[in-house]
Amino acid sequence: MNARTMRLRDLDPILMLAALALVTLGALLIHSGTLNRFGPPSVSDFSHPVVRQGVFAAVGLLLALVIARIDYRALGFLTPTLYVVSIASLLFVLVVGEETFGSRRWILVGGTPVQPSEIAKLVVIIALAKYLSDHQESIGTLRVFLTSLALAAVPAALVLVQPDLGSTVIFAVIWLGMVTVAGANWRHLLGLFTTAVIAAPFLFVALRGYQRERISLWLDPESDPLGAGFNILQAKISIGSGGVFGKGLTEGSQTQLDYLRTETTDYVFSILGEELGLVGALLLFGLFMLLLWRGLRVAELSRDLFGRLIAIGIVVFILLQTFINVAVNIGMLPVTGIPLPFVSQGGSSLITFFIGLGIMQSILLRHRRLSFRTFYEP
């Protein structure tokens, strides 16, 4: 603490307010989506989804503030431990996880379902940041390039087995974003890209039956409008019928008559599209852009590469989850169980992203060197 000052005014309130605005928007949508099953929320009813979401958000916010106080560089020392624990939890979920929709993604912790892959993504971000910043000088070498790839590939492979193709893609893209910003060799990236293109057809063959089915359904949801294509089709109908201004919160027929399934988790964006329309979607995108821009500001301001890479990783993480989730809702991508950051109902995801924000704040709080050093800088 003596080598730098920590000033509370360096905290970025905009980052937090954007996130809280997203949570609020999400709570309204969850309220609308659960209205006919749970009725309006009451504060004392902790089984009500809106109340639970509020509690998770409060816990997340509290965690973020606590983490902001901790020096993010301490995470560097904890990285090996965190990494090993999350790999272990991913293995654990494969063995004893709860199965929903044909894949094992959850474990119950004290009656609350926890999705380890969410936290694992954050841990991988930290681990990659640590490794890449420790090997800043030799970032251009193939050894460092491949080692960093392996760090991301192990958890990616474990979630692929669950199977959770969406999370696998997210691990891959987080890694790609981070090594690119860290200054990886273009030729290595190009080589990997070529390998991926050649391997893609083989990967498609290796996909599980249900994954291939999802892809073909995504290409043609009308082939089974009452069965597996139902969600895809109904989500598109919901959003398309919302129009510019939407049908009004709690007024969407698709949402209220239960034509949307898993509407408060994976398909929360469809509620927004139907009830708040294009205007609501632009508001949501605006909040996300604000959040991501402030996240990039953290990366820019960070005093070291470790912090910078963590911030980049989290930005890529949020960007990608948001894009994939919305793209699935509007039928641009095949169905994957990726929640919308801060908006979708679910504790694991919400708390993970708040922890991410906490780390960003921690980076911000420590970005200034001693004031006399600024005196020397032009």
Partner 1 sequence: MQLPSDNRRRWRSRGRHRPQGEIFRQRFLLLKMLIVLLFGVLVLQLVRMQIVEHDAYQERAEFNRLRLIPDLSTRGLIFDRYGEQLVYNVPIFSAAVIPADVPKDQLGTVAAALSSITGVPSQEITEQILAGQAGNNPFTPVVVQQNVDEETAFLLRERLPELPGVQVLVESMRSYPSGTLASVLLGYVGRINADEYASLQNSGYQLNDRLGKTGVELIYESTLRGTTGYRQVEFDVTGREIRTIRSVPPRPGSNLVLSLDLDLQRQVEAILQDAMGDSTNGVAAVMDVNTGEMLAMVSLPSYDNNLLTDPVDEEAYLRLLNNPAKPLVNHAIAEVYPPGSTFKEVTGTAALQEGVATPDTRITSRGYITVPNEYNPGEVYIYRDWAVLGTLDFYGGLAQSSDVYYYYLSGGYFQDGVQVFRGLGAKRLAAYAREYGLGAITGIDLPGEAAGLVPDPTWKQETLHEPWTLGDTYNFGIGQGYLAVTPLQLLRVTAAVANGGDVLVPHVLRGVIDEDGNILRRVEREVAQALSISDRNLAVMREAMRQAAETGTARSGASRFVTIAGKTGTAEFGPQPDEGEDHPTHGWYTGFAPFANPEIAVVVFLQQGKGSRDAGPVASQIFDYYFGRERLAEERLTP
> DSSP readout, 197-251?
HHHHHHHHHHS-HHHHHHHHHHH-GGGSTTTTTHHHHHHHHHHHHHTTT-S-TT-
Residue 58 or residue 332: which is nearer to partner 1 going by CB? 332
Q: Which is nearer to partner 1, 29 or 61 (CB)?
A: 29
Task: Name the minimum Å distance from CB 215 to partner 1.
Answer: 18
- Residue 191 vs 243, nearer CB to partner 1: 243
Bridge partners of residue 109, in order along the sequence: 112
Q: Which is nearer to partner 1, 60 or 242 (CB)?
A: 242
Q: Which of the 8 DSSP states describes residue 104? A: E
What is the smallest separation between the CB atom of 277 and partner 1, expressed in angstroms?
Answer: 6
- 322 closest CA partner among 22, 71, 14: 22
Give the Cα separation of 293 and 290 in Å (integer).
Answer: 5
CB of 65 to partner 1, least distance (A): 27
Q: How far apart, in whole angstroms, are the C-alpha atoms of residue 48 and residue 132?
A: 43
Residue 233 CB, nearest distance to partner 1 (Å)?
A: 8
In the complex, least distance from residue 183 CB atom to partner 1, rounded to whole angstroms: 5
Min. distance of Cβ 296 from partner 1 in angstroms? 6
Instruction: Give the CA count within 13 Å in the CB-facing half-sphere of 132.
Output: 34
CA-CA distances (angstroms) from residue 218 to 188, 272, 305? 33, 21, 40
For residue 378, whether the previous peptide bond is cis, meaning omega lies within 30 degrees of 0, is no
Residue 103 φ then ψ, to 5°: -140, 155
Q: How far is the CB of 315 from partner 1 (least distance, A)?
A: 7
CA distance 141 to 247: 55
Which of 54/277 has CB closer to partner 1? 277
CA–CA separation, 121 and 353 (whole Å): 10
Q: How far is the CB of 176 from partner 1 (least distance, A)?
A: 11
Rounded least distance, CB 58 to partner 1, Å = 29
C-alpha span between 283 and 273 (Å, rounded) = 11
* Nearest CB to partner 1, comparing residues 147 and 223: 223
Which positions lie near partner 1, rule CB under 8 A? Answer: 177, 180-181, 183, 226-227, 234, 236-244, 253-254, 257-259, 273-274, 277-278, 281-282, 285, 288-289, 292-293, 296, 299-300, 305, 308, 312, 315-316, 319, 323, 326-327, 330, 332
User: By three-state DSSP, how is residue 98 classified?
Assistant: strand
State the minimum distance, in angstroms, from the CB of residue 370 to partner 1: 20
The CA distance from 284 to 304, in Å, is 32
- Other CB atoms within 10 A of residue 58 CB: 12
Return the SS3 of 3. coil
Our CB check for partner 1 shows the closer of 38 and 323 to be: 323
CB 271 within 8 Å of CB 238: yes
Residue number, 82 or 298, with CB nearest to partner 1? 298
- 98: which strand partners? 106
Pick 223 or 371: Cβ nearer partner 1: 223
Give 75 or 281: the residue with its C-beta nearer to partner 1: 281
Q: Tokens 């200034």, residue?
A: 368
Q: Convert 252-292 into a string of H (helix), E (strand) and C (coil).
A: CHHHHCCCCCCCCCCCHHHHHHHHCHHHHHHHHHHHHHHHH
